[in-house]
Structure 1
Amino acid sequence: MTADFEADMTDPCAGSTVTFTNNSFGDITTYAWVFEGGDPATSDEENPVVTYETPGSYDVTLTVSNDVEEDETIMEGYITVMDLTASFEADEVDICDTEMIQFSSSTTCSEELQWTFEGGDPATSDEANPSVTYHTAGTYSVTLSAINGDNEVEVIEESYITVHNCTGIGSLALNKMRISPNPGDGNFQVNLPKAGNFEVQVYDIAGHIVYTTTLTSENNNLNISNLTDGIYVISANNGITQFKERVVIK
């Protein structure tokens, strides 16, 4: 006889249940399982279900036997239990007022996300990678909470975003892309502060590219009036510098 098994998952989140399937063959009459870190810790069932509450790496042992012989298989570190984690970053942290920032999250074992953007528009979001506009100069914090059932982990970055008033001559506004009219009907003028060709990509609110073109500081008309009403992100990149701005078609 030969002891053998598999699990329906080997990297569960803490609090998850794992179903083990016996793949042993031979004239077997008894099963003896040992689940390091599991609940139950042992079982005599043929196909047991085990819950893992604590993050870590755990062995699983199966011994099969009859009145004559037995065989044992030990899978070291077979189950890796993942913890609930969260982190995030922004594509820019030092911007002009009315400029948009793209946030991206990185989580494990998260079923729900809750963002809070001090000074931002929107002020909250449950998206994985939200876009936020800051209208007023100041320094602002960002909070991300990752939730899985009754478990929650919170990440707070104090004074993470710095917003400048860029209305004066010689200010940061001279080095920013401006799009007008915004909101508009989809026929926009894109004012690029640098010469050369810019590859322009238009993203919908879900992050999908819906239109691409090439613009320059002289040829700067962007007509996306064929798109449905809503919020879009305009990205312009010349290989050295990238500008991004949110527009609204209505």
Structure 2
Amino acid sequence: MTKSLYKISSVILLLVILLTGCYKETALPVTANFSTAFVNSDESVPVQIAITNQSIGADSYAWTFEGAQPSSATSENPGSVVYNVAGTYTLQLTASNRDGSTDTFEKTITIVDGISINFSTQIIASSYPPVEVVLTNNTEGEDLSYLWTFEGGIPATSTDQHPGNIIFVTPGDHIITLKVSNGFESFSDHKTITVTPDIEAIFDWEVDPFDDDYQAPVTITLINSSINATSYQWTFEGGTSASATNETPKTTFNDPGTYMVTLKADNGKRTHTATKKITIHPNTNIRMFKDIELAINNSHNTNARGAFFSTKLRKVLTADEVTDANGEEIDICFFGLNSSFDFNKFIAPDAVDSNGFIAIPNATHTKFINSQEICGCSASLSAAQFDGMTSDGLLKALTITETSNGLLPFDNSVVPRIVLFETHDGRKGAIKIKTYVNEGASSYIICDIKVQKE
């Protein structure tokens, strides 16, 4: 080796020794850090906290979650923890790496109690307006705020924990809403108050069947349709009972005139009064039936059209409608031989079985004068007198006597024909035959009837 090369090699060796002797290893630093978030923004128990690891330079982790489930973890990202008890807690992370670097980071969070709304309502007295409602608030928690809303109530709102009584005056459903907040979140609950319709006195009446002409005396039965009433005070001007307190009373008006019927309804809070007029007419003691259709024999027996009539039941009866119960109420029986109407007569109910009909059970006897012109009796009533009759004066004066000639049949040659009768209970009457209708086996006569009430 030449001298110059030797010098160069020595210099290089010296530099290598110097550089190697100056090298020293430096450890990578660790920064521990993490963030937290309330899942679903829910900050009251139970609370779920989402944890995001934001550490730098670490490869191992030691988590401590005070008061949480789980209470610790060693994974890089533990995900979330749950708190079931309110309080202030510390979350801590110790992060480290293989170089021995370590750092600790901790964070404090506050968990508040959950809100469980609990309130009740109580109606004082009754649900009839005005309705007074007592509120009892049993909601528990600290630092809570309250917002009450009273739909249709007086007052309409309140922020008091324990508001005073609320008044509702309008019928219907009213919603009471309570919204409670703890500064982090709010919860609501509601209840419904039903105010029944206001009291209203409403009534009508129905008359006894034989009083529908409103001729004195008239007995009425009150029909009470009042709304939300609990007691009643009736006043009957001119009635046999001047007053009553039951719900559906009866009263009778014996004299003609116009009278006031008054109902005062009460529900303990309010009253309401209704008044109606009733007019009672003078008693004519006569009842009138118009356009009564009585069938020929065949039609009656086949139940196509009836030949029997009851002045008390006020209806025509066919053969199959006659019963033990209504037989004694039948007054008038018509016998028409055929559609030609060349043989017709009215017969007593107790004689129908001798004239082609089935016997009427419990039948009574009605006297008839079919042909005044040949009866040989003193009774006489013309068609004009029949039409002009508005009271029982003419009927009262008649003496109805059955004679063999008076019971004889008649044909359709005389129209109108007046037939006189007297029922078994002494009520006198007249039948005016107006039309003979030929419809073959379903033929019938059309007549008007006037008879004494008693």
Q: TM-score range by the shorter chain?
A: 0.5 to 0.7
User: In the alignment, does 2:88 pair up with 1:88?
Assistant: no
Task: Report what 2:216 is aligned to.
Answer: 97
Task: Report what 2:283 is aligned to.
Answer: 165
Shift of 1:88: 0.6
Task: Report what 1:37 is aligned to.
Answer: 152
The Cα offsets for residues 157-176 of structure 1, whole Å up to 9 and x where unpaired, read as 23x3545525x35479x648
Contact kept? 1:32, 1:63, Cα under 8 Å: yes
Distance 2:196 2:245 in 1: 26
- Identical columns (%): 29
Task: Report what 1:49 is aligned to.
Answer: 165
The Cα offsets for residues 147-193 of structure 1, whole Å up to 9 and x where unpaired, read as 355743222223x3545525x35479x648xxxxxxxxxxxxxxxxx
Distance 2:246 2:193 in 1: 33
Q: What amino acid maps onto 1:140 in structure 2?
A: Y
User: In the alignment, does 2:267 pair up with 1:155?
Assistant: no
Task: Report what 1:197 is aligned to.
Answer: 325
Structure with a larger share of its residues in strand: 1
CA 1:89 to 1:109, structure 2 compared with 1: closer, same or farther past 3 Å? same
Distance 2:180 2:362 in 1: 75
Matches within 5 A, 1:98-247: 98-148=217-267, 151-158=270-277, 160-163=278-281, 165=283, 168=285, 170=287, 175=312, 197=325
The Cα offsets for residues 85-112 of structure 1, whole Å up to 9 and x where unpaired, read as 1201212283453443211222234344
Task: Report what 2:437 is aligned to.
Answer: none
Shift of 1:50: 2.0
Task: Report what 1:19 is aligned to.
Answer: 134
**TM-score, normalised relative to structure 2:** 0.33
CA 1:150 to 1:60, structure 2 compared with 1: closer, same or farther past 3 Å? closer
Unmatched 5+ stretches in structure 1 = 177-193, 199-215, 220-250
Deviates more, 1:35-44 or 1:126-135: 35-44
Q: What amino acid maps onto 1:61 in structure 2?
A: T
Distance 1:218 1:27 in 2: 88
Distance 1:217 1:69 in 2: 87
Distance 1:9 1:40 in 2: 16
CA 1:175 to 1:164, structure 2 compared with 1: closer, same or farther past 3 Å? farther
**Which runs of 4 or more aligned residues in structure 1 lie more than 6 Å from their structure 2 counterparts after TM superposition?**
216-219
Structure with a larger share of its residues in helix: 2
**TM-score, normalised relative to structure 1:** 0.54
The Cα offsets for residues 184-217 of structure 1, whole Å up to 9 and x where unpaired, read as xxxxxxxxxx97527xxxxxxxxxxxxxxxxx97
Contact kept? 2:229, 2:267, Cα under 8 Å: yes
Q: For this pair of structures, how many residues does the alignment match?
A: 181
Task: Report what 1:73 is aligned to.
Answer: 189
CA 1:115 to 1:69, structure 2 compared with 1: closer, same or farther past 3 Å? same
Shift of 1:39: 3.0
Shift of 1:13: 1.4
Distance 1:88 1:114 in 2: 12
Task: Report what 1:64 is aligned to.
Answer: 180
CA 1:163 to 1:127, structure 2 compared with 1: closer, same or farther past 3 Å? farther
The Cα offsets for residues 99-131 of structure 1, whole Å up to 9 and x where unpaired, read as 432112222343442222222121222222111
